[in-house]
Amino acid sequence: MRFLILLLPFLVVAQNSDTSLLRQMMIYTQPNEQMRLDMLSGEFGELREAISAQRKEPQYTILYFFSASIPEGVFVKRIEEIALFNQNRKHKLLSSQSLIGMTGDLKKYLLKAQERAKRSGLDQEMLVLVDIRMSPEVFENLEIKEVPVMALSKCVEGQHPSECEVLSLIRGNVTLGRFFELLKEKKLLPEELQ
């Protein structure tokens, strides 16, 4: 029985020659697309081809930047707004949230947010939109010094926020509806999202 040990910046996986576990675990790593493909040489060539074939077109994505100082109710409200926007729409928004300056208990914060989501009745639709990442480099690249910040971007599903194309950004605690109103006033709101 052969074993493969795959060392990634945040993940160690030991496995036999069956690639099913590797296929499942690849989605939980956050290296960029090329790093993932470079790691899959040799006997995993078919897996490399499968990942390449899965590349999708970029979609409109709301990037939400926050810290634990933002009440969980505000965080949940932003996710709820996207879930409501996506109902019965052909062009759905993706969502990714970047967290910085975590103080206290992240698990407790997220459990409170989950309780609020359940009370809203949209917990299933909202669950697929939650994609929290610790991404200090994105805060630095976009010169975000205060939160919350919301950005409209184009991302491939699952792509790290640092690799997304940011189209518009607004600072402060605004609703998704108000953000879109401001973009529409400036003729920056894409037709698919109107």
Instruction: Give tens-digit pLDDT for 146-173.
Output: 999 999 999 998 888 999 999 999 999 9
Whether the model clears a pTM of 0.85, i.e. scores above it, the answer is no
148, 70 contact by CB (below 8 A): yes
Residue 73 makes CB contacts below 8 A (sequence gap 6+) with 116
Please state, in angstroms and rounded to a whole number, the distance separating the CA atoms of residues 47 and 49: 5
170, 188 contact by CB (below 8 A): no
Residue indicated by tokens 């194309």: 165
Instruction: Give tens-digit pLDDT for 52-66.
Output: 555 578 999 999 999
Please state, in angstroms and rounded to a whole number, the distance separating the CA atoms of residues 142 and 134: 15
> What is the arrangement of strands in the sheet containing 94-99, beginning at the earlier edge strand?
132-134, 94-99, 59-66, 149-155, 165-171
Q: Which of 44-58, 115-129, 156-170 has the lowest mean pLDDT?
A: 44-58
pLDDT over threshold 60, residue 132? yes
